[in-house]
Amino acid sequence: GFYYKEGHEERLFIDSTPVKQVIDRLSSPPTPFILYSLNQFQHNVNTYQHALNDLAPIRARLSYSMKANYNPHLLSILKSSKVMLTTVSGGEMQLALSNGFEPSKIIFNGNGKTDESIQMAIESGVLLNVDSLFDLEVILKYARQLNKIANVLIRVNPILGDSNVHAYNTTASKTSKFGTSIDDLESIYKLIEDNHDKWIRLFGFHCHLGSTISNTQVIVECVEKMIKLFDMKRFHHLRFLNIGGGLNIDYKRYANRTANEPEEHISIPTIEDYVQAIKQPLQSIPNSIEIIVEPGRSLVANTCVIITRVLGQKQTGPIRQLIVDASMTECIRPALYQAYHHIDTVISSPQEERIAYDIVGPVCESGDFLGRERCLPKILQRGDFLAIFDTGAYCSSMSSNYNMRPRPAEYTLDEHEQIKVLKKRETNEDLLRTYCID
Ligand code: LLP
């Protein structure tokens, strides 16, 4: 993983290598670029799996929510660790299938699925989440047409919120667009019963409360509510309870290094804390049911840093602006959710006096900032390297080409600490490839 060694000039490390050495070996690399610690990723997978094994005799498995980051190198680690995948589009489903994941180990979720993606799921035997009555009707239509049985879970909206997450990150409020409310379940049950074992098989239930959840109590309430739904007599194939993902990570764990006035540090549950919290409500689950936990962020967020160069600094009114070459096109989370990503230097500076900066990108958009009021060395100048932390989840996968910016290269270190290219930087030609120019 990534960590700081104090009193060391090459202060930021990836596993046992100074990040500065990686930069030197790349010799004047185009920035920004993304650096992965795949060791950290494997470690996170192992941590989840060990914690879930501790739930025995309750059986629980992991399904990675690949929208967080679908770099195929992550997928091959997941495949060898026997992790399932949760997909949300035909594209993600196809990537999962072409990477050799068994269809029965792939879940296809979505409140609006295209005809093509529904056909792909039924044809290949992927598990589909039924999101609504209309979704079920289309699934049944294609099951009949393809003369196959669709294997489904029902995504239920348990209507429980976590008031502490950004509004864009809650998926189980009264007005959320995802899932079916418990009150509407009966009409879905009826339609399933009419077609059961002929065109459709109900394997269980799914729910997902939202993302960046730092309070395990709401997840416990959710599990309790979901367990009440299991009617083993009515549907005899019930096998899975998918309790979704959503666990936050401690984005502010280094914040005191750069904070103006160190705030009180709110503790975020670890993966182990989270699994311990769900243990109690799961005691009442029928033992034929297997639990699926579906994290994205808590598996992948801390596996990447974005390395960016300082372009310059200037004063605007009361604000000292530090302009860097990364932007909202590589890391949109601050602009979109006012999310915090720690930003700090790669090497220690000879003179440690720090001042407060707003760290902004070069994109022509006032919302293009990466961090506000961060204390960084006063002497930062053009060409100095900074690292933006915890950018493994929802950064690369949410990146864009706005302002005709090529998406960055992605690197890791192999087992011999040699640089390995995971993804090439896009070229300007790449950005024009799909335009039809006479
Ligand atoms: N399952 C379902 C059905 C989901 O919709 C999601 C995420 C997950 C699992 C994984 O949630 P996680 O463990 O990563 O919190 N772009 C936002 C996050 C959007 C999350 C969408 N759904 C962000 O950058 O904060």
Which H or E element spans position 53? Answer: helix 38-53
Which H or E element spans position 107? Answer: strand 106-108
Is-contact 278 9, C-beta < 8 A?
A: no
Residue 135 near ligand 1, beta carbon < 6 Å: no
Q: What is the pLDDT of residue 410?
A: 98
Interface ipTM? 0.99
Give, as one character, the DSSP assignment of residue 266. P
* Structure tokens belonging to residue 160: 């429980």
Q: What domains are there in the chain, each with its CATH number?
A: 2-37+302-432 (2.40.37.10), 83-295 (3.20.20.10)
DSSP 62-103: EEEEGGG---HHHHHHHHHTT-EEEE-SHHHHHHHHHTT--G
Q: Which amino acid is residue 182, in one-letter code?
A: I
**Tens digit of pLDDT for each residue in 259-293?**
776 677 788 999 999 999 999 999 999 989 999 99
- % of the chain with per-residue pLDDT over 90: 89
**Tens digit of pLDDT for each residue in 370-394?**
999 999 999 999 999 999 999 999 9
Name the residue at shortest CA distance from atom 7 of ligand 1. 211
Is-contact 371 341, C-beta < 8 A?
A: yes
Q: Which amino acid is residue 253, in one-letter code?
A: R
How much is the pTM?
Answer: 0.97
Name the residue at shortest CA distance from atom 9 of ligand 1. 245
The residues annotated as belonging to the active site are 364
Q: For a pocket test of ligand 1, which of 170, 211, 299 has the largest count of ligand atoms closer than 8 A to its C-beta? A: 211
* Region 85-112 average pLDDT: 98
pLDDT band per the 50, 70, 90 thresholds, residue 162: low
The pLDDT mean for the chain works out to 95
- The span from the CA of 274 to the CA of 342, in Å, is 23
pLDDT band per the 50, 70, 90 thresholds, residue 166: confident
Residue 244 near ligand 1, beta carbon < 6 Å: yes
CA of 210 to the centre of ligand 1 (A): 6
* Region 223-233 average pLDDT: 93
Q: For a pocket test of ligand 1, which of 41, 44, 63, 67 has the largest count of ligand atoms closer than 8 A to its C-beta? A: 67
The per-residue b/e assignment along 156-187, b for 16 or more CB within 10 angstroms, e otherwise, is bbbbbbbeebeeebbbbbeebebbbeeeeeee
Residue 337 near ligand 1, beta carbon < 6 Å: yes
165/219: higher pLDDT: 219
Residue 297 near ligand 1, beta carbon < 6 Å: yes
| Ligand 1 atom nearest to 299, measured from its CA | 13
Whether residue 428 has pLDDT greater than 90: yes
| Ligand 1 atom nearest to 213, measured from its CA | 15
Picking from 49-63, 141-155, 254-268, which range would have the lowest pLDDT averaged per residue? 254-268
Whether residue 163 has pLDDT greater than 70: no
Residue 68 near ligand 1, beta carbon < 6 Å: yes
Residue 246 near ligand 1, beta carbon < 6 Å: yes
CA of 248 to the centre of ligand 1 (A): 10
Residue 245 near ligand 1, beta carbon < 6 Å: yes
